[in-house]
Chain A
Amino acid sequence: MNPQKHIKKIMTITAASLLFSFISITGANTPAEKGFDVAARSDRSDRGFSDSVVQLKMVMRNKAGKQTQRSLLISTLEVPDETLGDRSLIVFDSPADISGTALLSHVKILDPDDQWLYLPGLKRIKRISSVNKSGPFVGSEFAFEDFTALELKKYTYKYLGEKDLNGIMCDMVERYPRYEYSGYTKQVSWIDQQVFQVRKVDFYDRKGDLLKTLILDDYKSYNSGFWRSHTMKMVNHQTGKSTDLLYGDYLFKKGLSKNDFSKSALKRIR
């Protein structure tokens, strides 16, 4: 990275956090600023989680309602610097034939992520292209970017107003991907005003049509403050297919380090 650009980025971020600390959200002037502030408050409510590990079940349904399932383990390492992305490791447990297959992502903000796939049968580590953001993640209705593009600065924002969602007062914020190869023109997110978590997201495709809706439910707080949804339902309005993610209990602060999310660690995951 260009050092000057880096310094400028750090200054912008410092300025943004100062702004955040001293001025209340209602003090933000433009809808873009207010949208960013609402999203930032939500994102930063999660600061300091260090690392997490969670087992989850993925239930995929086609239009006729036929179900297939996968189970996987997701480990995440927090990288506190907002100019860098987190690191994540997804290890498949079932179906049995892909057990031990793993995907390691070093998420970047605007540059393409670094991703490696591990194939346990051949013991082969493959660096893979990460431009396939909008492709389906293992046959589900979730796209790769729905997992990896959760970083605050991957988007620009616009505040739309507040609205009630099933009895929960939410701020509605539109977000626009800044990174390349996104399959979305915009996403409309609903963030509750009490604990600042995302409750619902509408995804709009490249033509600007409504593509998918994600409902995030069963929020639980861990270590007094880290909120996690345990049921996520994604419905594709254009195909009639849907995918549910059913999460088990999260484990936090297991003391995972960069070493556990390195390319060479892939060989040791099972």
Chain B
Amino acid sequence: MMVNSKTLFSLLVIIGLMTSLAQAESITLSGYVAIENRFFWNDPSYNGQKSGPQVSVVTEPEVRWKDSGSPHQFILAPFLRVDAMDDERSHLDIREGFWRYNKGSWEVLAGINKVFWGVTESRHLVDIINQTDMLEDVDQEEKLGQPMIMVGHSGDIGELQFFLMPFFRERDYPGSKGRLRAPLAISEQTVYQSGAEERHLDFALRFSQYYGDWDLGAYYFRGTGREPRLVRDPDSNQLTAYYDVIDQAGLDVQYTREAWLWKLEGIIRKGQGDTFAAMVGGFEYTLYQLFESTSDLGLLVEYNWDGRDKIDAPATSFDNDIFIGARFTLNDSQDTTLLIGAITDVENRSTVASIEAERRIGESFVLKVQARSFMNIDLADPLWSAKNDDFLNINLQYHF
């Protein structure tokens, strides 16, 4: 898609939203516009890749409609990035665009939505409803909107949610000029195991509840797996994305006791080679009001293990890794936070270290600074292609 048509479309969307805002009281508009600059300080690994500065403009407006007392609600939240260096990274997505009906203990939702499941910090293992937006970051926290119909019921015994997902969202990848990409181009041709291709009807059923200090979630998913296998096509010398139909059961548990949060996520997946299990578990311990200040220091340790097949399943770098991190929260009026962490492969010592800092400036601006470094990356590790892609990202957001 061309940047210009995207920009035009987004402007139309925003103007449309603003106009409707002016007309009704029960409609609220919020969101942000940001300018972002990403620098890569090492020489690139592959031909055509650039070092930046990679300048982007990002916006994520959100319009919400709800009349007080009405069980109906509408939300529209588009997302747009326009990237000056890599055309493929410019993208428009509807993160949310749905109608929701909520009465008593029942909830029905139809449209595009984001759903987050899980408790751990180093990997979002059980989170499966939405496709990861790989153009945004490698941390798997940015997600594409997922079309769905959801019916939920919450009561004293817990919450039960049923999801029907009629349309699959493909994963997008940076273009040839972009960093943090695979060595070869990803083919436009996507292959699905299901004959229905992206129209395979996926479903998920999830139960969640808390019992005293225990928070628990469990689900079953059947549908097109969100992670593709990237297979080299010898004719075109490109990578083809293969999406398999999988069955996955997942569990997430958190035990909260005094200043300790004990966390565990686990999955069992069938459909990509041998049936396998994967887990991530650990703790977050917080030292509140460190040295009699108003700041808190959280210490995080998590262990990742993944038993998947090396050939028949999508590659993962979380096969046997330890994450260690520290989270500083200043508890000031500007909500300053700092997160430092590193994840290391126990066998091959490949390490990704990162720093994320955030602070509000004045009432409406937020400055986010993020740095990632890929250290000691082993040839056999899926992170090999990113070994020279250390970066510093500076993001200034204006919130409205």
- Of B241-249, B252-260, B267-275, which stretch is located at the interface? B252-260
Least CB distance, B245 to chain A, in whole angstroms: 26
CB distance from B274 to the nearest CB of A (A): 32
Residues from chain A with a CB closer than 8 A to the CB of B47 are none
Q: How far is the CB of A1 from chain B (nearest CB, A)?
A: 10
| Chain A residues with CB below 8 A from B210, complex form | 114, 127, 263
Please give me the 4 A-B residue pairs with the lowest Cβ-Cβ distance, nearest first.
Answer: A96-B399, A139-B333, A68-B333, A264-B154
Enumerate chain A residues within 8 angstroms of B333, measured Cβ to Cβ: 60, 62, 68, 138-140
CB under 8 Å from chain A, chain B span 304-362: 331-335, 360
Q: Which residues of A contact B366 (CB under 8 A)?
A: 97
Q: List 24 A-B contacts (CB under 8 A).
A: A95-B360, A96-B399, A97-B32, A97-B366, A97-B399, A98-B335, A100-B30, A123-B114, A128-B256, A128-B261, A129-B258, A129-B259, A129-B286, A132-B259, A132-B296, A135-B288, A136-B294, A259-B104, A259-B154, A263-B208, A264-B159, A268-B73, A268-B107, A270-B64
A131 touches B399 (CB 8 A): no
Q: Does B100 contact A (CB under 8 A)?
A: yes
Cβ of A177 under 8 Å from chain B: no
For residue B249, give the distance in angstroms from its CB to the closest CB of chain A.
21
- Say which residue of A95, A125, A126, A127 sits within 8 Å of B364 (CB atoms): A95
Chain A positions within 8 Å of B119 at CB level: 126-127
Kindly state the separation between the CA atoms of A60 and B296 in the bound complex, as whole angstroms.
Answer: 20
- The interface bits of chain B over 70-100 (1 if a CB of A lies within 8 angstroms of the residue's CB, else 0) are 0001000000000000000000000000001
Beyond A135-B331, A264-B154, whether A127 also contacts B399 by CB under 8 A is: no
Is B115 interfacial (CB 8 A cutoff)? yes
> Residues of B contacting A138 with CB < 8 Å?
331, 333, 335
**B331 touching A97, Cβ below 8 Å:** no
B residues bordering A, Cβ < 8 Å?
30, 32, 64, 73, 100, 102, 104-105, 107, 114-116, 118-119, 141, 152, 154, 159, 208, 210, 215, 254, 256, 258-261, 286, 288-289, 294, 296, 331-335, 360, 363-364, 366, 397, 399-400
Q: What chain B residues lie within 8 Å of A128 (beta carbons)?
A: 256, 261
Identify the closest chain A residue to B330 (Cβ).
A139
Q: How far is the CB of B308 from chain A (nearest CB, A)?
A: 25
Q: How far is the CB of B362 from chain A (nearest CB, A)?
A: 9
A31 at the interface (CB under 8 A from B): no
Smallest CB gap from B68: residue in A: A254
* Cβ < 8 Å to B, chain A residues 73-110: 94-100
Is A259 within 8 A of B335, CB to CB?
Answer: no
CB-CB contacts below 8 Å: A7-43 with B: none
Residues of A near B30 (CB, < 8 A) are: 96, 99-100
The size bracket of the interface on A is 35 or more
Q: A96-B399, A96-B400, A135-B296 known; A127 and B261 CB under 8 Å?
A: yes
**Alpha-carbon separation in the docked complex, A135 to B286 (Å):** 12
Question: Which listed residue, A69, A96, A264, touches B208 by the CB 8 Å rule?
Answer: A264
B215 partner residues in chain A, CB cutoff 8 A: 127, 263
Known A122-B141, A126-B119, A136-B294; further 12 A-B contacts with Cβ < 8 A: A68-B334, A97-B366, A97-B397, A99-B30, A123-B114, A132-B296, A259-B105, A259-B154, A263-B208, A263-B215, A264-B152, A268-B73
A134 at the interface (CB under 8 A from B): yes
List, in ascending order, chain B residues with CB within 8 A of A97's CB.
Answer: 32, 360, 364, 366, 397, 399
In contact, A127 and B254 (Cβ under 8 angstroms): yes
In the bound complex, residues from chain A placing their C-beta under 8 Å from that of B118 are: 124
Q: Are B364 and A96 in contact (CB under 8 A)?
A: yes
Distance in angstroms from B215 CB to nearest chain A CB is: 5
Quick check: A139 and B289 within 8 Å, CB to CB?
A: no
Instruction: Give the residues in chain B near A60, CB-CB below 8 Å.
Output: 333
A262 contacts B by Cβ under 8 Å: yes
Given contacts A136-B294, A139-B332, contact A127 B256 (CB under 8 A): yes
From B102, B286, B363, contact of A95 by CB (8 A): B363
Residues of chain A with a CB closer than 8 A to B286's CB: 129, 132
Q: Which of A119-166 contact B (CB under 8 A)?
A: 122-129, 131-132, 134-136, 138-140
Q: A129, B335: Cβ atoms under 8 Å?
A: no
With contact pairs A98-B335, A122-B141, A259-B105 given, residues A135 and B360 touching in the complex (Cβ less than 8 Å): no
* Cα A95 to Cα B397 with chains together (Å): 13
Q: B202: shortest Cβ distance to chain A, in Å?
A: 19
What's the nearest-Cβ distance from chain A to residue B330, in Å?
A: 8
Contacts of B294 in A (CB 8 A): 135-136
CB distance from B150 to the nearest CB of A (A): 11
Shortest CB distance A225–B (Å): 25
| Chain B positions within 8 Å of A126 at CB level | 119
> CB-CB < 8 A to A100: which residues of B?
30
CB neighbours (8 Å) of B154 from chain A are 259, 262, 264-265
Residues of chain B contacted by A94 (CB below 8 angstroms): 363
Q: How far is the CB of B146 from chain A (nearest CB, A)?
A: 11
List the A side residues contacting B107 at CB < 8 Å: 268
A112 contacts B141, C-beta separation under 8 Å: no
* Distance A129 CA – B287 CA, assembled complex (angstroms): 11
Q: Which of B100, B261, B331, B399 contacts A129 (CB 8 A)?
A: B261
| Chain A residues within an 8 Å CB radius of B152 | 264
Q: A54 CB to closest chain B CB, in angstroms?
A: 15
Distance in angstroms between the alpha carbons of A252 and B258 in the assembled complex: 34
> Are B116 and A136 touching (Cβ within 8 A)?
no
**Cross-chain contact B159 with A139 (CB below 8 angstroms):** no
Chain A residue with Cβ nearest B254: A127
The docked-state distance in angstroms from the alpha carbon of A98 to that of B335 is: 9
Min C-beta distance of A211 to chain B, whole Å: 12
Name the distance in Å between A112's Cβ and chain B's nearest Cβ.
Answer: 7
- Report Cα–Cα, A123/B154, bound state, in Å: 18
Residues of B within 8 A of A136 (CB): 294, 331
